[in-house]
Amino acid sequence: MPDEIDKVGSVSQSRYEQIVAELRDVVEQQTRGQFTIGDRALEIELMRESGGHNAVDPEWSMTATLTRLAEDIGLKFSTVKSARWTSSRWPADRRQKGVSYTVHRILAYIENDQERFDAILTPPEGKARWTPDDASRRVGNRVETPVTPKEKITAIHTLAQDDQVAAAVTSDFLKRPEVTTKVTAVDKARVVEEFTRDEQVATTAATNLLRRPDIAFKAESDDTARFQVSHAQAERSRQARDHFEDTSPVAPAVKKIDRTVEFLDLVTACHSFVAAAGRTVPGLRDRTLSEDEAVIVHQNVAKVRATLDWIETAVDTGKVDMDDELARMLRGE
């Protein structure tokens, strides 16, 4: 009854244990077979010191020899070469029964001989035997089944080496609020900067951001940002003026106007006065000024009227001299 309840896949626990025992024998045989291939390849071609020079006929160089051996036994050259190297790292008396050839091959990357020989005798804490992933962790290689966050990140980076895959994954990640909240402000800014290298994207993003009052206020507090906005406004005005001059039928007439600084200042002053009066005078409705207030207003109206006469004279005749009475009036005497 317990065997029926405690199953592994489609088989009972006891049957599973029988299969494991059987396959361990198979793996042991495969390990001996792989080491035999490596030993014979090593016998044919000894390991050479890196950078050494051997006067050997090219036909019988290491590559040629191992290629011939691989073809003669029906294996790939890379398989024979790897087996030869693994055998060179594990002398016969250092190979451990019950440890797969795959684990031997991975741990062979430990450079120090004694450290390597000690490592294979010491499985990870809490485990009775080495697994390929544990061996990969020991030597710093990528694992097949990532467990730790670092291993999972490495796996994602490996899978996302293809640009199309990376783009799709990034889009999916950015749609998850719980993910974006864990990204640092610096990294978020870097992502935005990268995405806005495209001018169309940058324009859309900037427009949307500046519609948020809090963002617009903070941007306005930045001297560089404020300067850039002012520069952009001036540039837009220049472009609009150029477009007007290039396309408007009245542009030739307008160009004849001498746009001196004085002319622009004068027009601005008149416009400001009219605008201010337009805002203020309606406020006097149903209100009676006191005698003193009325006197002051009349005095200022007289100044304005005299000033307007002076402006008209200057525009019509080009004479800007004012008489003594006007000068005293403008000085408030």
Q: What is the pLDDT of residues 148-178, one digit of tens each?
A: 888 777 767 776 677 777 677 666 766 777 7
Q: Rounded mean pLDDT of the chain? A: 80
Residue 99 has pLDDT above 90, yes or no: yes
For residue 36, being part of any structural domain is answered with: yes
Is residue 237 in some structural domain? no
- Residue bearing the bigger pLDDT, 114 or 260: 114
Alpha carbon distance 37, 32 (integer Å): 9
Residue 298 lies in a domain: yes
Does any domain span residue 180? no
Q: What's the N-to-C CA distance of the chain in angstroms?
A: 120
Of 143, 158, 188, the residue at which a domain comes to its end is: 143
When divided into structural domains, the chain yields a total of 2
* C-alpha angle 288-293-296 in degrees, rounded to nearest 5: 140
Structural domain includes residue 174: no
Bigger pLDDT: 72 vs 330? 72
Q: What are φ and ψ of residue 11, in 5° steps?
A: -120, 160
Strand partners, 12: 7
Answer yes or no: is 229 within a domain: no
Residue pLDDT, tens place only, 194-241:
667 777 876 787 777 667 777 766 666 666 766 676 677 667 767 766
Boundaries of domain holding 276: 258-281+288-331
In a domain, 317, yes or no: yes
End residue of a domain, out of 125, 143, 161: 143
Domain ends where: 116, 143, 170? 143
What number of H helices and E strands is found in the chain?
A: 18, 2
Which of 68-82, 231-245, 292-306 shows the highest mean pLDDT? Answer: 68-82
Residue 310: inside a domain: yes
